[in-house]
């Protein structure tokens, strides 16, 4: 796969729609507690999604025979690999978090290593930007002190 191709954007859009569809199907299950969590998720849609830390042994999608979650997970995994190669960390993090939360971490063993790696890279990028800004500010303070002495 080559970098900077259009397929990354198309796959990301497909996965966002898969997440939306799964969220809708999960919401239609009729579980009131889950509906409250989903409505809170929908209200905070503009925020960066957080990884849910609740684990369960009952998966809502296993009860629905008309959903082939395995194919959706395969599409998600392929997209995550593509985003990984394209170094689209922000989108990768968002998609994995949403998919993991919606599927109640059923596929987390496969997707979380990519999420962790992307978060580590984003952390290093932020640290380097912060260090560069600190160095710039230190230089400006030093120039100000020289100016102040004159």
Mean pLDDT of 112-117: 90
Query: Of residues 32 and 110, which shows the higher confidence score?
Result: 110
Query: Of residues 129 and 45, which shows the higher confidence score?
Result: 129
Structural domain spans, the chain: 7-149
Tokens of 24: 């809708």
Mean pLDDT of 76-85: 89
Whole-structure pTM value: 0.69
Listed range (35-44, 109-118, 129-138) with the worst mean pLDDT: 35-44
Q: Model confidence over 21-53: pLDDT tens digits?
A: 888 888 877 554 544 555 445 544 545 566 666
Query: Of residues 61 and 41, which shows the higher confidence score?
Result: 61
């Amino acid at each position: 796969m080559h970098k900077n191709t259009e397929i990354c954007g198309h796959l990301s859009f497909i996965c966002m729609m898969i997440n939306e569809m799964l969220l809708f199907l999960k919401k239609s299950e009729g579980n009131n507690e889950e509906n409250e969590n989903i409505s809170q998720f929908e209200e905070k849609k503009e925020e960066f999604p957080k990884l849910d830390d609740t684990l369960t042994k009952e998966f809502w999608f296993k009860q629905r025979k008309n959903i082939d979650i395995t194919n959706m997970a395969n599409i998600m995994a392929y997209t995550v690999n593509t985003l990984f190669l394209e170094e689209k960390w922000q989108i990768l993090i968002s998609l994995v978090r949403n998919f993991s939360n919606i599927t109640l971490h059923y596929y987390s063993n496969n997707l979380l290593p990519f999420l962790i790696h992307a978060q580590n890279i984003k952390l290093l990028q932020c640290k380097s930007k912060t260090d560069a800004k600190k160095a710039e500010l230190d230089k400006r303070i030093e120039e100000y002190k020289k100016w102040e002495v004159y």
